[in-house]
Amino acid sequence: MRLTLQIWRQKNADDTGGFSSYDVDASPDMSFLEMLDVLNETLTEAGEDPVAFEHDCREGICGSCCLMIDGRAHGPEPGTATCQLHMRKFEDGDTIRIEPWRSAAFPVLKDLVVDRVGLDRIVQAGGFISINTGSAPDANLIPVPRDKAELAMDAAACIGCGACVAQCPNGAAQLFAAAKVSHLALLPQGQPERDQRVLRMVEEMESAFGSCTNFAECEVACPKEISIEFIARMNRDYVSARLRRG
């Protein structure tokens, strides 16, 4: 299949950047990133700078890949990270527009590569349980109801790719933060720090990201299909923590 790619090229963070157009031959069995590999091989052979894009595990779990494909984070296939998107989802002759994640919190470093350190900072603000190595009691000491554990796992499935921020018209990181807050708040081990955690994480989140207005775009863009129900949970935790702590 023959495709035309319109790819955002930007030399570095200071460059203004713009779209460039490329033609590429692809096979329907290729993954989207393999299609970009083919493009890069061709570009390199022709002496042109290859397109920088983020990728690592290529099996949908590390959260490195982050492409805005035709205006949709991770492209047209629901519940799928870019690396697991295959070209059979496109038609011969398609023009595909590829942009980097766009958010003030995600500055472009080069081409399609952005800096997502802002997400790490949210976790550093409190997305953990303070337990020193070696001080844990027996794992079966505290039973966790199965449905709670399962729900916590639903939230914990977040791969930290930032698609929620990328797709959100407000550039909000609510789904990312809510997934971590909920994951830990659902477990008995997460209770002692529950209030402080949500207060700190929300504050850190708001210092860099936009504000949620419940568009719910994140939920569809999320490659792990994490529910915005977790945002409601985080909000509730936030309000009750504030009420308790003033």
Site for other proteins, residues 82 to 121, rule: CB under 8 A: 84, 86, 88, 97, 99, 102-105, 109-110, 113, 115-117, 119-120
Report the residue from 1, 9, 72, 94 that binds other proteins according to the rule CB under 8 A: 72
- Nearest-approach distance from CB 95 to other proteins, in angstroms: 11
Report the residue from 4, 20, 21, 48 that binds other proteins according to the rule CB under 8 A: 48
Report the residue from 12, 20, 21, 95 that binds other proteins according to the rule CB under 8 A: 12
Give the distance from CA 139 to its chain's centroid.
31
* Residues 126 and 196 sit within 8 Å (Cβ to Cβ): yes
Burial class for 14, CB neighbours closer than 10 Å (0-12, 13-18, 19+): exposed
Structure token digits, residue 199: 């207060």
Q: Which helix (H) or strand (E) holds 140?
A: none
Q: With CB under 8 A, what is the number of residues at the site for other proteins? A: 126
Is position 27 an interface residue for other proteins (rule: CB under 8 A)? yes
- Nearest-approach distance from CB 207 to other proteins, in angstroms: 9
- CA pair distance 160, 200, nearest whole angstrom: 18
Site for other proteins, residues 156 to 215, rule: CB under 8 A: 156-157, 159-160, 167, 169-172, 183-184, 187, 189-190, 196, 199-200, 202-204, 206, 208-215
**Residue 200 φ/ψ, nearest 5 degrees:** -70, -45
* Residues 217 and 226 sit within 8 Å (Cβ to Cβ): no
